[in-house]
Structure 1
């Protein structure tokens, strides 16, 4: 009987051990390693998580590497992502430990996320966690750093051009001295009348500049340049390229979008689903600045202005930079979500700007030129299948935006 009891107990303990082991390792085993899942997770992470988290370093929130091993379970991660405040309010020990460790800052609830979305994000985090940083060792000579393509940089070309102009001026000065010295030398010689006419030619700088022909050329060139300046001025009416107004808060895209690599879509939430990209609300700013509070003690600094607006429940009165006339229709979601146009295509290198400026012309001609040159992104979109088929019957060239009615007046003027 004792032997049977011991045997049954050993079997039971073995089953408990196997179950516990499977439960501990199930988190990692459930996470996909498929490239498609990792790619989808990277897009979701960049658009929603990157503002507060990094995979291998602490930011506003904790580093996420191995989060699938640290958290109680994957189901717990799903619940926390969808409703962190609810998990914290339930008295969960691990959730409250994180809550207190990060100054009682609650994570934004992503209730719209599906389980598959969270699993894709975990797939990306796992792939980044396991990625080993390798420093490449150059086999050949180190490429030059002066220019991005290995050629001569623009600065060097400007210096060379200035040097050549300086040399040309010096040569003209030297030539003038030589001519003057030669004349004085020849005046000391006995010359014939014909030779004297050559040496003392009536054509001088003074006679040339006072001639009617020279005056006509100067007046014509000045009039042409003035006329061109007037035409350019007329064409520039209503164009605000380079416009960079002073904002009520000195927000730096170079820091947020450049150094911190926060995805544009995290702050400009309307860009994927509406006509307007929308200006971020104070609540979006405070998702991070609840914890980042430089200047709060003295009540000064730019972050203090954000906090004051949040506490007083007043919107920040940002100055609009990119303006289109009311007669023109433009839809951000159509270009960003459907066509896959990057923000930098129209707004320039926004991630390098401390002060945002209007980068592009934003004129009708500028838009039309883009529609004539841009290939339609038809991949994976059944809407275009018939249009592509009809286009291939008439042309072998890729289908441009103009081929699907992108130049019709009613597309933008309704």
Structure 2
């Protein structure tokens, strides 16, 4: 009897222990509602997941709303995110079903993701799921402020100079008219010979006007001024390719990819956060999506067929470079994007509205210097700037600009 009671008690406590462990595991993996975790998850989602997934709509992959409820477990999600092919190869039913439902397209493996990062992404997905889908509107993306193409600075100055010169010429003519009038009144009081009278009181005809020295001077002056302005404008435009929009070997539309589907720029231009160049996307990046999307409604089968052909033949696409700084100038994308937090549209304009990409900004030295003079340094959360900000605030009451930390030094861009 005692033995039977002891055995039953052991079984009971074992069940209690197992239940407690399961409950503890589920509690430990509870999806966070902390705003910091949601914000971190949103950044990770936009940089890594947004190219193929949305929370409330199907894209390349399934909509992620409620994914934590319909999948076997959160541990399953972590395993699938880190190595989907291994989970599918194991024969796990839900993974195999996903694989077959989406044309046997395997999700990119994010093996570098930590469990905490995946949980942050789930925190963002859950927060968006709880919000519900946003109402759809027909309005296109709003171009960011401060991206209106700038007029050429030299042209504006030259227009002012030209107007000033014309005003000065008119004033000179007025003064000359007063002098002539005064001289004429003085000579009228004198007794003049016939020849002198003809000079003082000439007979004005159309021919005499065109042959007069004053008219010739005015014509020569205006012609020379306009020619001077045209020459200076031409000299200032050397090397400036604002508005340049070459035809590309494949009619790729940023309006569709970055605008309509909201694919993050960093997903395709992978070097922008860590290198000097933003890099041109490889065919493999294109095929991450176009393994499944092999026909298009806006771009056309022919254009997507070119991508597939380039992928199958391992031949790189020969894109035409649009933004090109001279070799004597050094520009680092990661310094501006990763450290300063500059948005792509600041320099490249409303790229998400462009079917054909064009050079939006001047990209001249003067344009860069003007930006360094006006832009506040992004010091938030960066202890590197603490001493600089303290010293700056002792001498100035205005925010610290890029020029205050050496942004106008020649060696910053020329060395």
In the alignment, what sits opposite 1:349? 350
In the alignment, what sits opposite 2:122? 122
In the alignment, what sits opposite 1:337? 338
In the alignment, what sits opposite 1:77? 77
- In 2: Cα distance, 1:308 partner to 1:13 partner: 64
- In 2: Cα distance, 1:216 partner to 1:263 partner: 61
In the alignment, what sits opposite 1:38? 38
- In 2: Cα distance, 1:208 partner to 1:392 partner: 70
How far did 1:222 drift? 3.1
How far did 1:207 drift? 8.6
In the alignment, what sits opposite 1:265? 266
- In 2: Cα distance, 1:65 partner to 1:107 partner: 17
- In 2: Cα distance, 1:271 partner to 1:208 partner: 69
Runs of 4+ in 1 over 3 A off after TM superposition: 11-16, 18-29, 132-136, 203-219
Unaligned runs of 5+ in 2: 137-202
- In 2: Cα distance, 1:290 partner to 1:13 partner: 53
Q: Give CA deviations for 1:263-302 in whole Å, capped at 9, x if unaligned.
A: 0000001101111101000010000000001179xx9510
* CA 284–218 in structure 1, closer or farther in 2 if over 3 Å, else same: same
Query: Residues 295 and 301 of structure 1 are in contact (CA less than 8 Å); yes or no, is this contact kept in structure 2?
Result: no
Query: Residues 32 and 120 of structure 1 are in contact (CA less than 8 Å); yes or no, is this contact kept in structure 2?
Result: yes
- In 1: Cα distance, 2:394 partner to 2:92 partner: 63
How far did 1:260 drift? 0.3
Matched residue SS, 1:130: helix
How far did 1:69 drift? 0.8
* CA 27–264 in structure 1, closer or farther in 2 if over 3 Å, else same: farther
Query: Residues 56 and 133 of structure 2 are in contact (CA less than 8 Å); yes or no, is this contact kept in structure 1?
Result: no
How far did 1:92 drift? 1.6
How far did 1:78 drift? 1.0
How far did 1:229 drift? 1.1
Query: Residues 55 and 63 of structure 1 are in contact (CA less than 8 Å); yes or no, is this contact kept in structure 2?
Result: yes
Of structures 1 and 2, the one scoring higher in RCO (CA 8 A, sep 6+) is 2
* CA 94–69 in structure 1, closer or farther in 2 if over 3 Å, else same: same
TM-score of the aligned structures, taking structure 2 as reference length: 0.75
- In 2: Cα distance, 1:267 partner to 1:24 partner: 40
In the alignment, what sits opposite 1:325? 326
Residue 26 (str. 1) matches residue 26 (str. 2): yes
In the alignment, what sits opposite 2:146? none
Q: Give CA deviations for 1:177-209 in whole Å, capped at 9, x if unaligned.
A: xxxxxxxxxxxxxxxxxxxxxxxxxx9996998
How far did 1:80 drift? 0.9
Query: Residues 245 and 357 of structure 2 are in contact (CA less than 8 Å); yes or no, is this contact kept in structure 1?
Result: yes
Structure 1 stretch 366-375 or stretch 388-397: which is displaced more?
388-397
In the alignment, what sits opposite 1:108? 108
How far did 1:19 drift? 4.0
* CA 211–82 in structure 1, closer or farther in 2 if over 3 Å, else same: same
Q: Give CA deviations for 1:108-143 in whole Å, capped at 9, x if unaligned.
A: 11112111111111111001101045779xxxxxxx
Residue 405 (str. 1) matches residue 398 (str. 2): no
How far did 1:218 drift? 4.3
Matched residue SS, 1:254: helix
- In 2: Cα distance, 1:42 partner to 1:206 partner: 78
Query: Residues 29 and 74 of structure 2 are in contact (CA less than 8 Å); yes or no, is this contact kept in structure 1?
Result: no
How far did 1:326 drift? 1.1
Q: Give CA deviations for 1:69-103 in whole Å, capped at 9, x if unaligned.
A: 11111111111111111111122211111011100
Query: Residues 27 and 73 of structure 1 are in contact (CA less than 8 Å); yes or no, is this contact kept in structure 2?
Result: no
* CA 45–219 in structure 1, closer or farther in 2 if over 3 Å, else same: same
Aligned residues between the structures: 342
How far did 1:12 drift? 5.7
